[in-house]
């Protein structure tokens, strides 16, 4: 597994993909610097009027819902719908999932568009799981217990390496 990760990183540095980010204003600079350090080229475009054109030329799209506005939400939906249409991979980072109806409605729409990858902390992932699997018969507490059990079983069957890079 370590070899494949190292090979993918080397490939990324050769290809230098353009990564379109509609991201949280708080982490925008860090995200750009991390992508540059990996060998990618970041672009941060948030206007609904231009995201479709940027998705056309980018190799990937990242959606981070940390700081939302109506315009940003519209841009996210336009960009992800277009990414799906042209077969472009996209990542959803559901920052703050569950904290407002506006955010939850946007997340429901984004989840309907089937992100390629969902990246989030345990609380965000649990919130998404509960919101997409809620039934009238099950209580939230029962769903949380089931989610923890599902995650525990998954983690037991799929060990995660402590480091992806070899020791120096």
The total of other beta-carbon atoms located within 10 Å of residue 45's CB is 17
Strands 41-44 and 90-93: unpaired
Quote the pLDDT of residue 5. 87
Quote the pLDDT of residue 66. 96
158 band by pLDDT with thresholds 50, 70 and 90:
very low
The total of other beta-carbon atoms located within 10 Å of residue 51's CB is 25
Residue 117: its H or E element = strand 117-118
Interval 107-140: pLDDT, tens: 999 999 999 999 999 889 888 888 877 544 455 5
Whether 56 shows a pLDDT value over 70: the answer reads: yes
């Amino acid at each position: 597994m370590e070899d494949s990760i190292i090979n993918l990183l080397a490939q990324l540095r050769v290809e230098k993909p353009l990564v379109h980010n509609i991201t949280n204003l708080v982490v925008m600079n860090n995200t750009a610097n991390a992508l540059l350090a990996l060998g990618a080229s970041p672009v941060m475009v948030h206007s609904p009027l231009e995201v479709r054109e940027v998705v056309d030329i980018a190799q990937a799209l990242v959606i981070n819902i940390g700081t939302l506005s109506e315009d940003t939400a519209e841009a996210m939906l336009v960009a992800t719908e277009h990414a799906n249409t042209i077969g472009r991979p996209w990542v959803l980072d559901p920052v703050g999932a569950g904290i407002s109806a506006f955010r939850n409605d946007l997340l429901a729409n984004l989840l309907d568009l089937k992100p390629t990858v969902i990246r989030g902390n345990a609380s965000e992932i649990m919130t998404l799981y509960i919101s997409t699997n809620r039934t009238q018969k099950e209580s939230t507490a029962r769903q949380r217990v089931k989610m923890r059990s599902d995650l525990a079983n998954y983690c037991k069957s799929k060990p995660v390496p402590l480091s992806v890079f070899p020791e120096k």
